Structure 1
Amino acid sequence: MIAHLVFDGVSDGSLGVGLEVMGAAARLARAGRIAAHVSERVFRQRVVSMAGQSVRTGTGRTFAVDGPLTVRELRQGDVLVLPGLGAATEDQLDALLAREDIQRGLGMLARLARKRVTLAASCSATFLLAAAGVLEGRQATTTWWLGPAFARRFPRVSLRSDKMVVDAGDVLTAGAALAHADLMLGIVARTAGVSLAHQVAKFLVLDERTSQARYMVTEHIRSSDPTVLALEAFVLANVGRQLSLHHMARATATSPRTLVRRVQSTLGTTPFRMAQRLRISRAVHLLETTNESVEQIAARVGYADPAAFRRIFRRETGAAPLAVRRGAGVARRGEPQRAREAAARFAQEAAATPKRRTGS
């Protein structure tokens, strides 16, 4: 069974897509699209709240639920899903985690974890799993712009904010709000098989995305920490150079150990990974705004080996460089001219073709 636990402020989109993905899986399974027998309980869905009362969604709509969340209703093999809750800043997170209904929910999550119910959350709801203690010693992801706040609050969780979905056994986490679709596909794969998950993705026209790193725009992860800001400025000013930890520490007037600690506590990553993401971010910008070749761009951002650049680019963004360029609609050099020539030929041919006379 899939239980969707909702609180006031729940993301309309996340809740809706969660219900739709599992509903599509049930329809395809009942139509005989999977070979193996899967229990009907797998596809049963309920929307629950802490008290069994309606909630107000993030857009202010009233949403009726099926009843209250109870521990005895769920058993090992069932999944409790928490859609995102719309908290976009640390102040909003503080207010969210201080709410009485959320505090009661944290205790319930811990009890369900001990019962071996699978727990899953996306976006800001991942903070509830971490606050309940069920992510300690595990890997997890969260929405990319709240990654630094997550890393500071929960240092015993191994944060992978570049990942769209992280499967840590009995706990699954997903990134920004619409990564909830990826989370639900992962749940379908786990409970009913990978083949059905692929069919649902095709049926709902959901692309397969493994990373949210390409959305991690530098401006959104800026910190007030002067050391991190100094490091960012230094890396961007030397984006075409290979920089050692000692180079970066000297530029920020810190020791290598201090620099590592400051970047880790602020951004939840290492100075090298931060520098790499800044270089890849610059490469994305060049791919989207210039006609330079991948090899030229690789050299401009400090990669002498284009193959290594492509490999790192794909790891950080989840896509190949040319796929990013095509997505931005940037034509390679010569393509506009070829397009104009083709259009001219078409016009000439059309003018030279005798028009068929039509009778009245």
Structure 2
Amino acid sequence: MVNSAARINLAKALEAEARALGFAACGFASAAEDPVRAKRLEEWLGEGHHGSMEWMKTRLHHRRSPQDLWPEAKSVIALGMSYAPALDPMALEDAKSRARISVYAQGKDYHDVVKKRLKALARWLVAEEPEAEVKVFVDTAPVMEKPLGEAAGIGWQGKHTNLVSPDHGSWLFLGAIYTTLDLEVAEPHRDQCGSCRACLDACPTGAFPGPYQLDARRCISYLTIEHKGPIAEEFREALGNRIYGCDDCLAVCPWNKFAQEAQGMREFLPRAELTAPRLAELLALDDAGFRALFSGSPVKRIGRDRFVRNCLYAAGNSAESGLLDQVTALTNDPDPVVADAAQWARARLTPSL
């Protein structure tokens, strides 16, 4: 692209095509390095807040900027797809015999859905601008989607470190297209959190050392999804009945009042069997049953053993004596982490003499 008018027209056409494909937000940022953004990432890693997610550190040189991953890139198309829920994510907080699965994991795996639409948008762009080269990313590459989304003007990183949109609240799946085109970039979105600290105060495990800081080692999403061993006892009670992820810091964000239930994206509608599953049924899952239940779901990636480990912590927090036989049986599970979780849960459910 050479002249400014042509760049602006292409940006408008891109936004229109993105919305036609189901993206709720679209913006443009430079692919060049932002020293402030890179420094924050280095500090976060230096403090060990990434926990066991070593890939964050080993690919630091690629995460610093889009051009460090792909030197030919000039612009980033940052995109957001809404998954705003129809139901209150906190509604099951006191339903101790039921399990809570994060909103984003109750429908089809967003990696597949978003990537398919990103590829369609990339094909459209190349058809419009044949000289363009493109690469698409959604969550599995060393790409800093949240700060790039802020730089592209589609939202700002809130005090919970997630992107917040003034139109869609905290409920956005993020993706990015890197391109060799020199697009008209946006102004970074200004922070609109103000004095609010609802997200910080809502965290059950105190995972926020301060505003805009997350210690993943204390985060329930990290503990239930990324962490592979036994979860430290200091966090087990705080897990409550959360068995995959946690929505608390997102759900309490006041900006969600502007978010509407995701429309036109049937893939993100919750599957009935995942909205309020019974712990008793989940504890009975063997590997084959787990794979069948979570086919096409992001939950499948953690495997049966880690999943049942999480369910056992929830069982231990449930005060449901009817789960004791199942829990006791799992103390002999071949996986030592599952057996350890079962022993803890059995002790919690066994009446004191």
Asked which structure has the greater RCO (Cα within 8 Å, sep 6+), the reply is 2
Q: Bin the TM-score by the shorter chain.
A: under 0.3
The TM-score normalised by the length of structure 2 is 0.25
The TM-score normalised by the length of structure 1 is 0.25
Point out the structure with the larger helix share.
1
